Amino acid sequence: MTNVRNPGPSGGYRFLRCCDRIFPEALYKPLRAMGTWVAMWAMPKQRKHSRDYLALVLDRPVTSRDVFRHFFAFEEVLMLRLRVINGTRHGGKLAPGAEEFGEWMQTNRPALLGTFHIGTSDLLGFLMGGLEKHRTYLVRQRVGNSHDTEQLGRLFGEHIRFVWVNKPEEMLFALKDAATARDGSIALQCDRVDYSSRTALFDFLGAKRLFPITIYHLSQIFDLPVLLSIGLPSPDSAISFLYSSPIFKPQPGESRAVAMTRAREHFQTFLNQVEMLLKEHPYQWFNFLPLNEVGDEPAH
């Protein structure tokens, strides 16, 4: 059993699901807002990281109301995940430019699917795997109270498999069997460097910041294409819009240096798109952690 936990009390997710069945939304939403205010003030570190991020993306002085809206946006996406577990229908719709992603997901060909802790990106891993009948291995950190992830896994169990990684050195070994089987795509998070031995500097929110590029090295090792994507909820939460990069494919006979140059350009182009989307939807960035480290020299 892991000692790592998500914020919140034991049984908190089950309590939220139970309340959602009992209370009408007109009463339940204000109650969730009150709970979010309490949680926000009980988590000073996350509150500071939220304020630091918002100062950059909003480009103006940040108020406590801004920080609350950030926390509440996260709570509402969590609530959406729990409602999908309870049986609420939620679909994914391709945003303009994501057609290549949709075409690939209609096939049985495997790929490396990179995503970020933004909006409903994590939920889309389940929806695309379940609705498009495309088997997907989800790389996740095992935590002690991951009730929502576990229940979603059971809901979409026919097409979803988990690859649990709690130590950086476990990553390659954990992925090897899934990659060599070539019977499904592999979804990895690409915005936190904690579990990545390969990083590089990219332009993001006004500075050169470190991001993991392990996914591109795996692409070279296992000869798999890369597709980056994020999901953002619609105003009525009935669907999520999926934004995707063009497909990145390893080229036969290409040197590693040339491949990684193309990879960095591919990642930077999508990161530019992500930054533009965050300017429009600033409260959908769900890394309540220090912003990616700033650097001056390329990292390898």
> What per-residue confidence (pLDDT) applies to 167?
67
> What per-residue confidence (pLDDT) applies to 84?
83
Per-residue b or e along 30-62, where b marks 16 or more CB atoms closer than 10 Å to that residue's CB: eebeebbeebbeebeebbebbeebbebbeeeeb
In angstroms, what CA-CA distances link 233 with 48, 195, 265?
25, 27, 27
Q: Is 141 exposed, middle or buried (0-12, 13-18, 19+ CB in 10 A)?
A: middle
**242 touches 231 (CB < 8 A):** yes
Q: Does residue 199 belong to any structural domain of this protein?
A: yes
> What per-residue confidence (pLDDT) applies to 105?
81
Distance between CA atoms of residues 160 and 156, nearest Å: 6
- Per-residue tokens: 201: 């500097």
Q: Does residue 20 belong to any structural domain of this protein?
A: no
In angstroms, what CA-CA distances link 80 with 96, 98, 283?
24, 23, 16
Q: Does residue 63 belong to any structural domain of this protein?
A: no
CATH for 95 = 3.40.50
Q: Does residue 290 belong to any structural domain of this protein?
A: no
**114 touches 230 (CB < 8 A):** no
Contacts of 276 (CB under 8 A, 6+ apart): none
Distance between CA atoms of residues 176 and 249, nearest Å: 19
Domain total in the chain: 1
- Give pLDDT tens digits along the chain (300 positions): 445 555 544 457 778 888 888 999 999 999 999 999 999 999 999 999 999 999 999 999 999 999 999 999 999 998 988 888 887 888 788 899 999 988 888 887 889 999 999 999 877 666 654 445 667 887 776 655 455 566 666 666 667 777 777 666 666 677 777 777 777 888 888 998 876 778 999 999 999 999 999 999 999 999 999 999 999 998 877 888 999 999 999 999 899 999 999 999 999 999 999 999 999 999 999 999 999 999 876 544
Q: Does residue 97 belong to any structural domain of this protein?
A: yes
Q: Does residue 21 belong to any structural domain of this protein?
A: no
> What per-residue confidence (pLDDT) applies to 256?
92
Provide φ and ψ at 119, rounded to 5°: 50, -130
Q: Does residue 168 belong to any structural domain of this protein?
A: yes
Could you list the residue range(s) of the whole structural domain that residue 200 is in? 90-284
Q: Does residue 64 belong to any structural domain of this protein?
A: no
| DSSP 8-state code for residue 284 | G
> What per-residue confidence (pLDDT) applies to 299?
46
